[in-house]
């Protein structure tokens, strides 16, 4: 069961009364809000409401640690996989270089 802080804006609208308020934003912050709302395919109002609920949740000591840890682990795994591929490529390159040097020492003309 979600706490009140964990509910999304659309869930909250169904449960509670809505109050209007006017808020001033720096231009750069508003551009970012608009961009993220568009990216998430939600209204600016819903995006801001979700952000407020997330902040309230954090202020109340509720952190979604498993999601944060899962996201970080996925980042680390992706980096590790990329590193493994790079290492494999380097190993293949070294082996090819070593074979070329051996063939040249044996008098083979493998460069042409």
4 and 49 Cβ atoms separated by less than 8 Å: no
Query: Closest Cα partner for 102 from 27, 6, 1, 94?
Result: 94
Reported as a pLDDT band with limits 50, 70 and 90, residue 11 is: low
C-alpha atoms less than 13 angstroms from C-alpha of 77 in its C-beta half-sphere:
6
Degrees, nearest 5: CA angle 65-10-73: 20
Residue showing tokens 């309230």: 56
pLDDT tens digits for range 23-73 = 898 999 999 999 999 999 999 999 999 999 989 988 888 777 677 788 889
Question: What are the domain boundaries of the chain?
Answer: 1-63, 64-112
16 and 2 Cβ atoms separated by less than 8 Å: no
H helix runs in the chain, sequence order: 9-15, 27-40, 44-59, 65-105
pTM, entire model: 0.46
pLDDT tens digits for range 66-108 = 777 888 898 999 999 999 999 999 999 999 999 888 888 887 7
Percent of the residues in the chain that have a pLDDT greater than 90, as a whole number: 47
């Amino acid at each position: 069961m979600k706490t009140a802080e964990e509910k999304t804006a659309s869930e909250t609208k169904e449960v509670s009364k809505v109050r209007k308020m006017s808020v001033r934003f720096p231009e750069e912050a508003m551009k970012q809000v608009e961009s993220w709302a568009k990216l998430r395919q939600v209204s600016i109002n819903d995006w801001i409401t979700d952000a407020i609920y997330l902040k309230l949740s954090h202020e109340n000591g509720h952190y979604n640690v498993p999601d944060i840890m899962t996201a970080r682990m996925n980042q680390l795994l992706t980096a590790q996989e990329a590193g493994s591929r790079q290492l494999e490529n380097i190993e293949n390159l070294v082996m090819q270089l070593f074979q070329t040097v051996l063939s040249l020492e044996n008098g083979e003309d493998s460069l042409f």
